[in-house]
Copies of this chain bind each other. A is one copy, B any other.
Amino acid sequence: MTQDLTRSWTVSELASVVSGVVVGQGQHIITQVAALSSAGPAAVSFCESAMQAQLQVTQAGVILVQDALHDACPLHAIIVDQPRLAFAKLLSTLFPKTRPDAGISDAAIIEDTCQIDRTASIGPGCVLGSACVVESGVVLEAGCVLGSGVRVGRDTHLFPRVTLYSNTELGQRCEVHSGAVIGKPGFGFVLDHQKHWNSVPQIGRVRLGNDVVIGANTTIDCGALNDTIISDGVKCDNQVQIGHNVVVGAHTLICGCVGIGGSVEIGPHCVIGGQSGIADHIKIAENVMLAGSSGVGQDILVSGVYGGDPAQPIMQWKRSCVHIAQLDRWAQRIRALEMNCE
């Protein structure tokens, strides 16, 4: 729970990174980051109001806290508005991301018709089809394969072994993690007279907005006629499956192992809990939060928190969970009633 920093920092230096106000000694030396529970006097940590009981036992050298809590800190404090957010910002500074150098690896294979910005970095084993456009600051790590006509926006980072099928478009500052497959033809088939499945050509694309994160081994299919759209700021965890023609609204967060059927529309600012499943053609309003393992077979048109399969308002689902665990007793009670009432 403790990580050493590559150099030591004073509390004042840390405060200036997060635009916070020091309470205590600015010259105190910090050489570690840690969770509150394991932090010692050389460590910086953070505390939100829900965690304040931990302030009584922590030995952290300096803690990012809101104004109301700084008195409770054992040693020093840095007052910030949003401690968790400030801590994230601090970590970005203390542990900066390393990007590979600009340039195209000798072991990459790129069609002549591609436009590659000279500040982009293309790793060994990458293969780019015809007419791809790779903007400034883009990183394609080793083994990424792009079909033809793919566009990758400024400062977007593909981790190793990502596949983008032809005509996929990625916005700026996206991250696509290893093993993701974007733009594969959607799963569309129609039966013929012999009861054989004939594939329906899928001629749409996948378009990702800006600041989208796609997890490892996640798959996103292209649209049948129109496009599959992942809007700005969407964060998508590992092993998520997104079917053809899906539209995901801006700043929605999709946890791991979620399956989203074809033509689903999810509004902005939703949170889709892990392993949830959403059936074809479902509409989900904005600001909907689904608990893990939810199953959505009907539209959710009212913002709120839902859970269960079939998905229900969360409080109802929580009570249902209790009931399901007691069905055995219910069976006895119904039987008793029947005997009583005979």
Residue numbers of A with Cβ under 8 A of B are 1-3, 33-35, 82, 84-85, 87-89, 91-92, 95, 97, 105, 107, 109, 123-125, 127, 141-143, 145, 159-161, 163, 165, 177-179, 181, 184, 187-193, 195-201, 203-204, 211, 213, 215-217, 219, 221, 225-226, 233, 235, 237-239, 241, 243, 251, 253, 255-257, 259, 261, 269, 274-275, 277, 279, 292-293, 295, 297, 308-310, 312, 316, 319-321, 323-325, 327-328, 330-331, 333-334, 337-338, 340-341
Q: For A310, give the chain B residue with the smallest CB separation.
A: B321
B241 to A203, Cβ gap below 8 A? no
A190 to B84, Cβ gap below 8 A? yes
A225 to B327, Cβ gap below 8 A? no
Kindly provide the distance from the CB of A323 to the nearest chain B CB, expressed in whole angstroms: 4
**Within the assembled complex, what's the spacing in Å between the Cα atoms of A88 and B261?**
20
B142 to A145, Cβ gap below 8 A? yes
**Within the assembled complex, what's the spacing in Å between the Cα atoms of A97 and B199?**
12
A239 to B237, Cβ gap below 8 A? no
**Within the assembled complex, what's the spacing in Å between the Cα atoms of A165 and B191?**
32
**Within the assembled complex, what's the spacing in Å between the Cα atoms of A91 and B256?**
34
B189 to A85, Cβ gap below 8 A? no
Q: CB within 8 A of A274: which of B33, B259, B341?
A: B259
Instruction: Say yes or no: A187-B143 contact (C-beta < 8 A), given A201-B95, A251-B196, A334-B337.
Output: no
Q: CB within 8 A of A124: which of B2, B82, B109, B161?
A: B109
Q: Which residues of B contact A261 (CB under 8 A)?
A: 256, 274, 292
**Within the assembled complex, what's the spacing in Å between the Cα atoms of A253 and B88?**
34
B233 to A190, Cβ gap below 8 A? no
B277 to A277, Cβ gap below 8 A? no
Q: Which residues of B contact A325 (CB under 8 A)?
A: 310, 312, 316, 320
Q: Which residues of B contact A316 (CB under 8 A)?
A: 325, 328
Kindly provide the distance from the CB of A250 to the nearest chain B CB, expressed in whole angstroms: 9
**Within the assembled complex, what's the spacing in Å between the Cα atoms of A3 and B225?**
7
B192 to A85, Cβ gap below 8 A? yes
B127 to A127, Cβ gap below 8 A? no
Q: For A109, give the chain B residue with the smallest CB separation.
A: B124
A233 to B197, Cβ gap below 8 A? yes
A88 to B251, Cβ gap below 8 A? no
Q: For A330, give the chain B residue with the smallest CB separation.
A: B334
A277 to B279, Cβ gap below 8 A? no
Q: CB within 8 A of A159: which of B163, B190, B310?
A: B163
Instruction: Give me the 5 closest cross-chain CB pairs, A-B, nearest first.
Output: A145-B160, A91-B201, A323-B327, A127-B142, A181-B216
B213 to A239, Cβ gap below 8 A? no
